[in-house]
Amino acid sequence: MDVIASKIDTRSDTYKKNFEAMESLVEDLRKELGRARNERSEKALARLEQSGKLPASKKLELLLDPNSPFLELCPLAAKDMYDGKIHGAGLLSGIGKVGGKEVCIGINDATIKGGSAYPISVKKSLRCQTVIMENRLPSVALIDSAGAYLPLQSQMFPDADGGGRIFYNQARISKMGLPQIAAVMGMCTAGGAYGVAMCDEIVHVKGHGAIFLGGPPLVRAATGDVVTADELGGAMVHCAQSGVSDYIAENDAHAIEIVRSIVANLPSREKHLHPEVKAEPPAYDPKELYGIVSPDLSQAFDIREVIARIVDGSRFLEFKELFGPTLVCGFAHIHGYKVGILGNNGILFSDSALKATQFIQLCDRRGVPLVFLQNITGFIVGKVYEQGGITKNGHKMVNAVSTASVPKFTVLVGASFGAGNYAMCGRAYSPRFLWMWPQAKIGVMGGAEAAHVLVTITNDQNERLGKPPLTKEEEDFICSPVIEGAQKEGNAYYSTARIWDDGIIDPAKTRNVLGLALSAAGNAPVHSEPLGYGIYRM
């Protein structure tokens, strides 16, 4: 593989302007992540300390193997939703090493509404379960939850993707032979009790860990019995009498110590993906990505310059370099793992869609994971392109993306609009993981384009009705809310709050994030289903 020859002038004014802008966006991201991790009320922190419990961040620190990385999932979920204080949807989740094994971790944050679950908390839990099932990972749950946030119960209870789906998935995860370990560190009420009981092994903390279908207030209302939480579902009840729990712990730290021993005792499993070569850093500084990509999505950049700062040694074997030039495809290594990369260098034409289809098939047949780098406004439109078969050729690419069963990973490095989002493995196409850069935007189309379409439609209607075209003031009246709405709802923070992605990442850390994701994906077979494709329209 040849080293990509970078053409970036790091001394140019454009580079410096881009660098400063991206550096500012990354600093904003750090601040938002810091708020999500640390912004808690004094009352909640005092209550936690008085109860003798550990904060979620400390639990994670004790659980993980020393000096091992942690790939956090959806850290900014629920940002600016509800009252603006349900940081991370009340859950600290991600993939890390425990006892030498990669596991998916979920920790309730009891300093956020007592660990109550909101609708977005359910969505985050379901997302983590998808990660567990797709990547065949053991899971560890450190539970301290007051249950569903009752004022919003109708939004998380009865539907197919409501809270009940969590327990359904737990049964499926168990059937798949994937270990589920739980530590009861606080209240596990109603659905929380089911979630614990469906785990393989349960550690129960004395004093403040309790499991029950109905808490003391409900029991009193229903039966007249007056009982404490500990008497109803404490550690001695479930370790010595009911048999629900398997290990008794003196405190949170002791419980985590037991959990680590349980995970270390799990059978070792062979990985299905391995680094093929020794990992080496790119030939160019990944932080140069700050100066390459402009926050102004209308400013084009060569996706090869991005690839050169992500892959090992900046080496890249480009496939069909002269054909379909608006899509760059080729082979490289990331932290030693072989990958097939597809990156946008403009709008998708028929030739670039056909090129992608062939490349995806090659990678799928060879068991090579796929990495999609999205900066796409969509497929080309127009009479000549429709006559040339853009619809059926675009379908071939979408079909290939949909049916390829190797692990797929997607990073939105710029625009992600319309059917381009689909063809480049957007969330609906089940990439194992998907991330956004801070300046990336997502939507059916850009705000200005959407507004222009509406103006054109309205003027066409006016012409048919014999009315004059819109005035400038009328156009502005139509366009302003459309553009403002697109700017708000297409923003990376709006997306990540609603778990349309797995997190916003610092561009300079993209390579390491992909390396951790590739390692996690290696716990599952390379092909998730038999090889084969749907019908390609000829």
> In angstroms, rounded to a whole number, what is the distance separating the alpha carbons of residues 65 and 96?
8
Give the pLDDT of residue 180: 98
235-262: per-residue pLDDT in tens? 999 999 999 999 999 999 999 999 999 9
Say if CB 421 and CB 372 are below 8 A apart: no
What pLDDT score does 190 carry? Answer: 79
pLDDT (tens digit per residue) in 15-65: 999 999 999 999 999 999 999 999 999 999 999 988 899 999 999 999 999
- What is the structure's pLDDT at 476? 86
Is 203:247 a contact under the CB 8 Å cutoff? yes
Residues facing residue 372 across a β-bridge: 342, 410
**Residues pairing with 86 in the sheet:** none
Distances from the Cα of 294 to the Cα of 50, 386, 464, angstroms: 49, 32, 42
In the three-class reduction of DSSP (H, G, I as helix; E, B as strand; rest coil), residue 149 is classed as coil
Q: Which of 484, 417, 492 is nearest to 26 (CA)?
A: 492
Tokens linked to 42: 């004094």
pLDDT digits (tens, 9 = 90+) for 324-375: 999 999 999 999 999 999 999 999 999 999 999 999 999 999 999 999 999 9
Task: Name the pTM for this structure.
Answer: 0.94
DSSP state, residue 469: P
Whole-number CA gyration radius for the chain: 25
Instruction: Return the DSSP state at 443.
Output: E
Cα distances from 64 to residues 53, 97, 107, 140, 350, in angstroms, run: 18, 6, 12, 11, 48
Q: 231, 293, 267: which is closest to 25 by C-alpha?
A: 293
pLDDT, tens only, 486-506: 778 889 999 999 999 999 999
Render pLDDT for 189-217 as a digit per residue (tens, 0 to 9). Answer: 877 888 899 999 999 999 989 999 888 88
pLDDT in tens, 135-176: 999 999 999 987 888 889 888 888 889 999 999 999 999 999
